[in-house]
Every structure is written in C-alpha cells, then in structure tokens.
Amino acid sequence: MNLSDWPLDAIHTIAAARGVQVWPVGGVVRDLFLERETHDWDFVVDRDALRLARAVADALGGAYFPLDAERDTGRVVLERAGGAPVVLDFAVLRGPHLEADLRARDFTVNAMALEPDGTLVDPNGGYADLRARLLRAVGPQAFDDDPLRMLRAVRQVAELGLRLEAKTAAWIVQRASTLTRPSAERVRDEFARILLAPAAADHVHMLDELGLLVHVIPEMEDLKGQAQSPPHRFDVWWHTLMVVEGVAAVVGALDGAVLPPAYVDAPERVWDEVRRVVGRFAQPVARYVEVSLTGGRPLRALLMLAALCHDVGKPLTCTEDERGRLHFYNHDHAGAEMTAERMRALRFGRAEVDWVERVVQAHLRPAHLACAKGAVTRRAVYRFFRATGDAGVGVVLLSLADHLATWGPHLEPVRWQRRLEVADVLLSHYFEHFEETVAPPSLISGRDVMAALDVPAGPALGRLLERVREAQAAGEVTSREEALDMARACLNKGAPEGSSS
C-alpha cells in the first residue's frame, strides 16, 4: 500500500537517524483502504516515542505536546496554509512487538499497520472485515480494558457505514453496565459524535438495543410505553426517534439532500416544501448549525441532543382528564430542567447547557404562534426571540420536525402550511431583519429616562425600557423623541409594571 509521501517520508528519515522503528497504524491505514481523507495519523514506535515526536515537531515546524509521559505518548500538530491541521500521534508499542500491539487494539479494522516498504501487517483479519463492511472487536477483552469502546463501536458503525458483528454486539450487551466506569467527559464526546454521524436516529436506537443508552441518558427509559393522545400515533420513545431523524432531514434540506426516512412517515412532498422554506436561508443556517459554543462541538450536535430530549418531561407531567385524554402540561419546562441536569452530569459546557435548555423549553412556541389568528406580527417575533435568543433558530428547525413526526401520513395541509409560514417569518426576521425586530439597538438608555422623566433606577425602569424596545421592534417607535414620549405616556398610565410579560 502507498501512503502520502508527506509527512511519512520525513518521519521515516528522522526515525532512521535516531535508530528507532516507526509504523503508521490504526485509523490512517483503515482510511487508506476506505479512500477517506484523514488529517489524523497514529504511529507506534519501538522506543522513545516522546523524543521522536519532539524531533518530528522540530524538523517539520510543528507544535509538540506530551500527551502521556508515563505511557510514552506524544502529539505533533502541523499547521497547513489553507488546510486543516495535521495531527500526528506517537505511542510506544504496547507489547514486545508490533503484532502484540495490534492484538491489544479495539477493532480489527483499527488493528492494521504498514511496514516502511508498504507491506500490510494485519494479524486480526481487519482488511477482510473492512471489505465485508464489518466492525468486529479483536476480542471481549477490548471492552474490559476500556468500556468506552462500546460507544466507540456504535460511533464507528455510524461514521464508517459498517455493520456490527453479532458476537461483538453480544459482548457489548453483556458488559453494558460497565459504561459507568469511563469519565463523563469521554462518554459525552463519543455520544456527541454519534449524534453528528449519518442516521443518528438509527444509532440512538442501536445504543438502546445494546443496553448503552440508559447509561448515557437514563431519562430515555421512561419514554418507552408512555402513551400520547391524538394526533400522536406512537409512544413518546418512538415519537422521539422520529423527531431526531426529522431534525437531521430538515438540516439536510439546507444542501438539497434527499434522505429516505426510516422513521418519519410524512408524505414525500413535505421535504420539497421544507427545502423551499429553509433553503431560502441555506447559507446562514448552515453557518449557524456549525457554530461551536465550547468543546469544539457544533450547534448541530446540540440540536440533535435537544431533539432527543425535547419530550423527556412528558412521563413526569402526564395527567388524564375525565374523557381519558392525556395531557402533559408544562412538560416543556420540566423537560428543560431535566435535560440541563443530565447535560451537567455529562460535563457539557455551561453555554451548551443553556442553549439546549432554551430549545427544549421553547419547542412548543412555534406551534402557539401557528395557532394564533392572523399574520405573525413583529411584536410576536420580538417576543419569540426575546425568550429564545440565539437558540431561536434551533427551536424553529426542531418544531418543523416535531410537527412532521406527530402527524405523519395524516398531515393536514392547512396546519402544515401555517407551520411553514411561521418558520419562514421567524427565520427571515432573524437572518434578514435582525436589528429591526430581533435585537434592535435601544433608542433610549436608562440614564436618558432617569434624566428626562425623573425615574429612579430599579426594576420598574427596566420594565419601562423593555416596553419601549418592544414597541420599537414592532415599528411603533422610530426615534429617540418618540421613545421618550412613549415612556412618559407609560409612566402617566402606570404601565411599566408587568408590561413585558
């Protein structure tokens, strides 16, 4: 096999000068066979891996990081103009020789190496498994050594388009409870990558069937069997899987992708209608979902997590009326609190928790706007984004998926067109009229009001300013003088108390 000359030739030259042996191993070899571009290279070294890493960094002008001095593992990051950084990881052999190292790895497709002359070293049959599109563990000990590899199995099935070998699946089921051993941060990172991979709903379902999901988000278990009243057709669990798939399809509509849904059974024409509405804002929405708040995770992953958790509060809030109809009053607020608590347990960043919490809490708001008579006003738009902030776009995307999952083949055209209309209005204001209706720059400040109208500082002043700003967003106030006149009129009427509700 032939790997790219750069940086491999330079690394072999440096290693030879130092009298050490080095082999590319793992993902870079696997991706070579899959014809996937890679920016991450793993190498095993027979000795002095840290020193070799430092020498490579010095020779190639890269940054050197000692990852684990005790295990002789280091990293080199090479920046390239106009391209993604190249990451080179060097680790000393785990075992007396290369074959022993490969037999101690996780999956056969990740347990291949290349000799300097390009000869494949494959003691576990990884190449044959790769050709068969099979993910097979090297042995059950792989999961005993590191239970996180059970999540990694699902992630690699999702990312690489493989199928999980039956015996490997059985080993995971037997050991699922040990997923509590790895740190929350490691579990979080693998789970987030599963949500970002193609067919996320399928792979969330796979996590559940393997007994892993309950150890990541235990709240999901109570969704199973939780009945719902019409127009819902399924329990909350199956509805949730449909919404997760629906969100992925709505986001996929940004680039015109046509996904054959496995769960969402709405009429096929709706995806053209989604593309027509969401596609108008394809570029700004695409940039929006790729924004990272913390930890390098894009909003797209957080949106999928919000979809997974949007109805998590339903079992807790379920009531039944005298006619036998089920209600879930305040499940949005209860679910938001539960989701935030779970995310904190998984060590998501504060900004990430806040964003997802707002999406879950507000996921019913577009439905409320759609049920109101008449056009969506500028005042309503302002109030929507005042409540949701930068999470508002995520709420809109989730709401479309939620509606399609709820109604499915029984979608009512008038209701659906109204939902699309609301989505179009909210997205157009956010991306095209942001400073007019979403976050208009204030015409007057607290100091202006205090000086001109003799109003003391305090909560009442804040409510007064908010009332004026809302009127500004609604187009009722357009100048500083009009803003002060309105503030004066509100004071004369005693209006600011509670006026911003």
Domain ranges of the chain: 1-132, 134-216, 223-438, 446-493
Q: Is the pLDDT of residue 84 over 90?
A: no
Mean pLDDT of 2-12: 82
Architecture of the domain whose range is 134-216: Orthogonal Bundle (1.10)
Q: How many CA atoms, within 13 angstroms, populate the side-chain half-sphere of residue 442?
A: 14
Mean pLDDT for 199-205 is: 97
pTM of the full structure: 0.93
Residues 220 and 208 sit within 8 Å (Cβ to Cβ): yes
Query: CA 407, CA 404: separation in Å to the nearest integer?
Result: 5
**Closest-CA residue to 199 (of 262, 251, 266):** 262
When pLDDT is averaged across residues 263-279 and rounded to a whole number, the result is 90
Q: pLDDT-based confidence at 110, cuts 50/70/90?
A: very high
> How many residues does the structure list for the chain?
501
Mean pLDDT of 298-325: 97
pLDDT at 387: 97
Query: Over the stretch 385-414, which tens digit does the pLDDT of each residue have?
Result: 999 999 999 999 999 999 999 999 999 999
Q: Is the pLDDT score of 459 beyond 80?
A: yes
In the predicted model, what is the mean pLDDT of residues 64-93?
A: 92
**Res. 256: pLDDT tops 80:** no
**Tens of pLDDT along 149-177?**
999 999 999 999 999 999 999 999 999 99
CB of 113 closer than 8 Å to CB of 98 = yes
- On the 0-12 / 13-18 / 19+ scale of CB atoms within 10 A, 362 is buried
Q: Which has the higher per-residue pLDDT, 194 or 257?
A: 194
- Residue given tokens 């892993």 in the structure block: 212
> Is residue 285 classed as helix, strand or coil in its secondary structure?
helix
What's the pLDDT at 499?
Answer: 46
Neighbours of 42 (CB within 10 A): 19
For range 34-46, the mean pLDDT: 92
Q: What is the pLDDT of residue 7?
A: 87
Task: List pLDDT tens digits, range 432-447.
Answer: 999 999 999 999 999 9
- Is 140 buried (19+), middle (13-18) or exposed (0-12) by CB count in 10 A? middle
Check for a shared fold between 1-132 and 134-216: no
How far does the chain reach from its first CA to its final CA, in angstroms?
67
The average pLDDT across 296-323 equals 97
In this predicted structure, the answer to whether residue 469 has a pLDDT above a threshold of 90 is yes
> Peptide bond preceding 231: is omega within 30 degrees of 0, i.e. cis?
yes
Residue 501 has what pLDDT?
36
Question: Which amino acid type is present at position 437?
Answer: T
- pLDDT score recorded for residue 455: 86
Q: Which of 153, 249, 162 is nearest to 209 (CA)?
A: 153
How high is the pLDDT of residue 500? Answer: 44
Q: What is the mean pLDDT of residues 82-95?
A: 91
Give the tokens for residue 219.
Answer: 């709240």
Mean pLDDT, the chain, rounded, equals: 94
pLDDT at 120: 96
Share of the chain above pLDDT 90, in %: 87
The band of 81, judged by pLDDT with boundaries at 50, 70 and 90, is: confident
Question: Residue 497: is its pLDDT beyond 50?
Answer: no
Mean local confidence (pLDDT), 305-313: 98
Span 299-310, average pLDDT: 98
The encoded tokens of residue 63 equal: 């940054």
348-388 per-position pLDDT tens digit: 999 999 999 999 999 999 999 999 999 999 999 999 999 99
Tokens 């000359």 map to which residue? 5
Residue 295 pLDDT grade (very low, low, confident, very high; cuts 50, 70, 90): confident
Alpha carbons 94 and 83: distance in angstroms, whole number: 32
Could you count the other beta carbons within 10 Å of the beta carbon of residue 173?
13
Answer CATH for 1-132 from 3.30.460.10, 3.20.20.70, 3.40.50.720, 3.10.28.10: 3.30.460.10
| Residue 241 CA neighbour count, 13 Å, CB half | 21
Residue indicated by tokens 């109809």: 325
